[in-house]
Structure 1
Amino acid sequence: MDPAWLQTYRWIVENGDKRTDPWLLVYSPLPVTFIFLCYLFVLWAGPRFMKHREPVDLKAVLIVYNFTMVCWSAYMVHEFLVSSWLSGYSLLCQPVDYSDSPLAMRMAKVCWWFFFSKVIELCDTMFFILRKKNNQLTFLHVYHHGTMIVNWWLGVKYLAGGQSFLIGLVNSTVHVVMYLYYGLAAFGPHMQRYLWWKRYLTRLQLTQFVILTVHAFYNLFAECDYPDRMNALICAYLVSLIVLFSNFYIQSYLSTKKKSQA
């Protein structure tokens, strides 16, 4: 009789989407777990390593990185939109199409690209550390970046498509705007007068979380061939993000405004 942990591991790797199992980082949870643990290690060791060193000038790297992420996010918006539109997706209830049809595979592939983009976005944290912007390494930042790779590994492993496409579509749209802001900001302080819309980024992020929470909550009670456990997990996770981003918005903008008026 195999130990429980080995039985659990076998169930995890053997019950995934057979279409996505051969793709990079998908088949086993070990690679993404290793990435997550490395991320936590860098968070611990990075600031200590940089403590007595000068901040690294990453202006050129940040410009290239952020505008690359704009293009990548725009590509995913296009693929989510086209794949869902041509497949006749429903916004209210959309089961996963596990077939090997061209459109089903196209949707599965963009889900994988979305997951992989979350791995690449861990670079955001690395850049903060190298530039000694440790004030940006908040619980919100770490929680959001660290959990997204795990959540979307689960998505690609078991549910590459279906109504979870809406999360990828909405989040990729928001990231086009977000990385555009970061890309422009990377040019230097002279750009700040053109970036008055920074606070609206947080509002945009909160709006996406509310929309996606309502969507997932609705599907908890609708008769839809999509796992309720996944909808419940999505709801709980999005509510946590709403709380954290709301607190960030209040502390960053509303509290500051009150202090300036005092």
Structure 2
Amino acid sequence: MEASKSASLPAVVQISGVYTDPWYMITILILYLYFVTKAGPQFMELRKAYELKRLILAHNLIQVVSCVYVIKEVFFITDNTILYFWKCRDIGSSPEHVRRYYSLAYFLFWLKLSELLETVIFVLRKKQKQVSKLHIFHHLSTVTLVYLLINHNENGDAAYFSVFLNSIVHVFMYSYYFLAAVADKKIVQALWPVKKSITVMQMTQFALILVQVACQIVLCGTPPLQIIYFSAVIVGMFYGFLDFYNSAYQGSQRCKNLSPSPEVGK
């Protein structure tokens, strides 16, 4: 639904300027990009790395709880039919469905902004190698996709299929990061295969999302400009994670020290 149509929505779901004004989002992303690539590394150059263990544990736990909440809300919004991803949908006719559709979209906006903290943690812990181009691209693009979900979605609640898949992956991923942050080295080493599985899950979700995109184009007549941008982002992330998978898990034994994905919360 276009932002310009928000005036026709019930007052409870009126879209505020925070969500409609792209410059709010753009400003935050520019500041994020500047800090993690320039200001942050310069600030840490002559300083010792911060531990930040409590912050890391809290961040991972919040992400797990948040993703469980997102999954629950997606089931409600779609009347438990989210797995029928090929169907054409609207956002429902009942006021409660419409309200919770937008409430979840707003929640996702702030949730994706909170994920930017991961890169900041990398910088403050002097783990600049983990601030890869793929990592930055992933976090920047997900925020823009939620902006489109709020303001320019014409696929109804079918757009929540990608959110649903991503939230499932993140429940496993952040749970693993939380455990890895508190467990001893032997347990972490024993869980090494889980790292590979998480990356496989990430690639699988992107493949399934692209299948849904194809169905929406053929069956639902989705506007091409939205699909082109969305598809470009998903394809870019798929190949980025595939490249990471090949280098991290198909390479030499030394790659075992690498994190399972570009969005580690450790």
Equivalent residue number for residue 259 of structure 2: none
Distance 2:183 2:74 in 1: 33
Equivalent residue number for residue 32 of structure 1: 25
Equivalent residue number for residue 204 of structure 1: 201
Return 92-101 or 202-211, whichever deviates more.
92-101
Equivalent residue number for residue 138 of structure 2: 144
Distance 1:54 1:134 in 2: 13
Change (3 A) 1:165 1:31: same
Equivalent residue number for residue 170 of structure 1: 165
Q: Give the counterpart letter for 1:246 in structure 2.
A: L
Change (3 A) 1:164 1:50: same
Change (3 A) 1:194 1:255: closer
Q: 1:99, CA displacement in angstroms?
A: 5.1
Equivalent residue number for residue 214 of structure 1: 211
Q: What are the residue-to-residue correspondences of 1:212-251 with 2, within 5 Å?
A: 212-222=209-219, 224=220, 226-251=222-247
Distance 1:188 1:45 in 2: 33
Distance 1:54 1:71 in 2: 32
Unaligned runs of 5+ in 2: 257-266
Distance 1:238 1:144 in 2: 9
Percent identity among equivalent residues? 26
Distance 1:230 1:16 in 2: 19
Q: What are the residue-to-residue correspondences of 1:1-262 with 2, within 5 Å?
A: 14=4, 19=9, 22-23=15-16, 25-43=18-36, 44-85=38-79, 90-97=84-91, 101-159=95-153, 161-187=156-182, 189-190=184-185, 191-196=187-192, 197-222=194-219, 224=220, 226-256=222-252
Distance 1:17 1:253 in 2: 51
Asked if the contact 1:216–1:232 (Cα under 8 Å) also holds between the matched residues in 2, the reply is: no
Q: 1:206, CA displacement in angstroms?
A: 0.2
Asked if the contact 1:26–1:156 (Cα under 8 Å) also holds between the matched residues in 2, the reply is: yes
Return 89-98 or 30-39, whichever deviates more.
89-98
Question: How many residues are aligned here?
Answer: 248
Change (3 A) 1:83 1:110: same
Return 228-237 or 77-86, whichever deviates more.
228-237
User: Alignment partner of 1:96: what SS?
Assistant: coil
Distance 1:211 1:205 in 2: 10
Q: Which runs of 4+ in 1 moved over 4 A?
A: 15-21, 86-90, 257-260
Asked if the contact 1:84–1:107 (Cα under 8 Å) also holds between the matched residues in 2, the reply is: no
Q: Give the counterpart letter for 2:34 in structure 1.
A: F
1:108-163, Cα deviation, whole Å (9 max, x unpaired): 22122122211110000011011111110001100100111112111112228421
Unaligned runs of 5+ in 1: 1-11
Change (3 A) 1:66 1:258: closer
TM-score by length of 1: 0.85
Asked if the contact 1:66–1:183 (Cα under 8 Å) also holds between the matched residues in 2, the reply is: yes
Q: Give the counterpart letter for 2:20 in structure 1.
A: Y
Change (3 A) 1:88 1:146: closer
Change (3 A) 1:89 1:252: closer
Q: CA RMSD in A?
A: 2.6
TM-score by length of 2: 0.84
